[in-house]
Amino acid sequence: MILALAGNQNSGKTTLFNQLTGSNQRVGNFPGVTVDVKEGIYRADKSIKIVDLPGIYSLSPYSSEEILTRDFLINKHPDGIINIIDGTSLERGLYLSMQLLLLNIPMVIAINMMDEVYANGIVIKTDVLSEFLKVPIIPISANKNEGTTDLMQAITGLVSNRCSPPKQDFCSGAVHRTLHATAHILEDHAQRANVPASFAAVKIIEGDEPMMKDLALGKNEKDMIEHGIVEMENELVLDRMAAIADMRYQYIEDICKKAVVRPKVDKHHAKTIKIDNILTHKILGIPIFLSIMFFIFWLTFGVIGSFLSDLLSGAIDALAIIVSKGLTSFGINPVVESLVIDGVFAGVGSVLSFVPTIIVLFFLLSLLEDSGYMARVAFIMDKLLRKIGLSGKSIVPMLIGFGCTVPAIMATRTLTSDRDKKMTVFLTPFMSCSAKLPIYAVFAMAFFTQYRALVMIAMYLIGILLAVVAALISKKFVFKGNPIPFVMELPNYRLPTVKNTMLLLWEKTKDFITRAFTIIFIASIVIWFLNKFDIRFNVVQDSQDSILAVIGSLIAPVFTPLGFGNWMASTALITGFMAKEAVVSTFAVLLSTGMENMSVPLATVFSPVSAFSFLLFTLLYTPCVAAVAAVKRELGTKSMFVVVLLQTGLAYTIALVFYQLAMFLG
């Protein structure tokens, strides 16, 4: 049995999916968290598959998530639909419900967030709603796992008995006449396309091109349908899209008058409005956002995160000393000991020491996300982003990019404009992902000790400023045209939940640690081996004679004008293409030291000026191989190469200009 979860963005689909399947998919209090189809097995019955579909507001093929959800429902024919509605925004949810009912698939409507509904003093008469819509209505609170058992019993019962929603009319007058006439004309075509005639009729009237193509109507049939639509438009003095929308909203209004009792004042929404008057203020909104982000970065890099990372780094170094003494006393071959201490401990340990910093950063960001503030950030940034050729909705992928570029690029699927999507994918790598954080921290601690927090914040700001410049240039020469109108749901503010916060932290920490013990582990061993042996596989006393030095020396001259034309730096940049954390682990292996003791050896490789030049290059050069693959998946091979070449070219140019100018002035 395959059950599809369908509903508006931010209605709680993924939360319900996690409760039903025991999965730990990411949830957030802003629209567009789910950007692809996720599948899981119902934990109470292994014969039932649950499919979490992207959030949508209609079944029109405008955005990529609408196309994804629509194609699944029409082409995959799930056995049942669980339509999730946010109980605090019932009218908006029912607009989609009316379209889903036409698909002739067994369906149950789950009214979610009932705890908030009760708290706001709203009364929803589910029996009255059920009588109108002819499907079971189940009140639930997915976040608290309340009502989910009743929900599953209702939908599995319908599917087992093959109880599809009965055909019913939601309209009257001209719309009713036109719909029935259209359905009659295309009925045989709809049967061949395996689509309900009533659903096909609505889509054809709305001007749905994919449906028109699937039905393969003849010219005479198209002319007859068009004639009826024009008559309807003339009679109602509304265009076809507005006529269908008006029909739906009229029916929803009639239902809600009978089924919903609202208090005079929505307490929760009133509080949200008061907070928004400050946080989304047209003048103060952006300064408040920048202040919040500066405070988060200051806590992460200057106070809590750096302190905890220093403690962990010291513990790893102490453990390395103990292990080294143990191996020596046991009589282990010195080469093997070097592999363990100089390879694994130095490489993997140097990266693991930044886990506390990652945890602190994402803990603070998850509080903003779960509270609903991130959606406001998109709203207040819309005016600013529009000036550089983007809409406010692009801010969501960019903010995700501060965590990891891969999900950030995937999040661009929520953008309805192909132009906006391409431009956002192009700009997202400018946002410093968490994998670059260890590089900034190590170099800031080694060369700019007193100002390390400011230097690390500066790297983030430089990336953002260069993204703005790149956007202005590309807007004029590459991505011509205007951004799409900005429409985004602003959810009510909510207290962050412990479960969601811990889940996000676990995901980020697990991802970081997984990379440390896979990519970084392998890279550290390979770097150690190439640095330990010469081309005849003899152990070298001086790493200048190693295989790695030979390889690095071939590339190093390219970076000489940037101030770091040595084989160690060029080697680190190559491994950084696999994973940005590998830059730090490479230096740790080459310098045979842990993170805490890296400052002095690094000073033999870089000067403060060349170190900052190196930071600029690592900030901007091509993202990791996983991010490059994500670009290829979203935009194609040609765009992938364009992104890689542009990023690397810009990184080289900025680092070159900075270093040469600094040397000229200094």
pLDDT over 80 (residue 226): yes
How does pLDDT run across 173-218, given as a tens digit for each residue?
Answer: 888 899 889 999 998 998 898 888 998 998 998 888 888 888 888 8
Token pair belonging to 2: 């395959």
| Element holding 662 (H helix, E strand) | helix 637-665
- pLDDT at position 597 is 60
Report the DSSP beta bridge partners of residue 110. Answer: 84, 138
Token pair of 594, please?
């842990």
Whether 431 shows a pLDDT value over 80: the answer reads: yes
pLDDT digits (tens, 9 = 90+) for 526-548: 888 888 888 888 887 777 778 88
Task: Give the whole-angstrom CA distance, residue 546 versus residue 537.
Answer: 9
Structure-token pair, residue 161:
């008995």
- Which domains are delineated in the chain? 2-160 (3.40.50.300), 173-261 (1.10.287.1770), 286-665 (no CATH)
Query: Which residues have CB under 8 Å from 164's CB, separation 6+?
Result: 104, 105, 106, 107
* Amino acid at the residue 558: V
**Token pair for 460:** 């983030």
Distance CA 375, CA 392 (A): 10
Separation of alpha carbons 634 and 52, rounded Å: 21
Q: Cα separation of 469 and 474, whole Å?
A: 9
| Segment 330-357, tens digit of pLDDT | 888 888 887 787 777 777 777 777 788 7
pLDDT at residue 156 greater than cutoff 90: yes
C-alpha neighbours within 13 Å on the C-beta side of residue 332 = 16
Residue 657 has pLDDT above 90, yes or no: yes
Sorted by sequence, the CB contacts under 8 Å of residue 248 that are 6+ apart come out as: 95, 98, 170
Torsion, Cα 221 223 224 225, to 10 degrees, reads: 90
Average confidence (pLDDT) over 146-162:
92
In sign, the C-alpha dihedral spanning 549, 583, 565, 600 is negative
Give me the pLDDT at residue 593, please. Answer: 63
Could you tell me if 8 and 86 are in contact, meaning their C-beta atoms sit under 8 angstroms apart? yes
Cα 201 from Cα 217, distance rounded (Å): 12
pLDDT at 295 over 80: yes
Residue-wise pLDDT for 233-249, tens only, equals 899 888 888 888 888 88
Cβ proximity of 96 and 69 under 8 Å: no
DSSP secondary structure string for all residues of 392-420: GGGHHHHHHHTT-HHHHHHGGGG-S-HHH
CA 397 to chain centre: 6
Global pTM value:
0.66
Contact 351, 438 (CB under 8 A): yes
**Dihedral angle at the C-alpha atoms of 504, 507, 512, 514, nearest 10 degrees?**
170
Cα–Cα distance for residue pair 52/37, rounded to 1 Å: 6
- Count each helix (H run) and each strand (E run) in the chain, helices first: 32, 8
> What CA–CA distance (Å, rounded) separates 356 from 361?
9
Spatial separation of the C-alpha atoms in residues 207 and 227, rounded to whole Å: 14
Position 660 scores a pLDDT of 93
pLDDT score for 30? 44
Question: Residue 172: left if φ>0, alpha if ψ -120 to 50, beta else—which one?
Answer: beta
CA distance linking residue 549 with residue 527, whole number of Å: 11
User: d(Cα 173, Cα 277) in Å, to the nearest integer?
Assistant: 43
- Do residues 139 and 43 lie in contact, with contact meaning Cβ atoms separated by under 8 Å? no
DSSP conformation class of 306: H
Angle between helices 608-620 and 637-665 (to 10 degrees): 160
- The packing angle between helices 637-665 and 418-427, to 10°, is 40
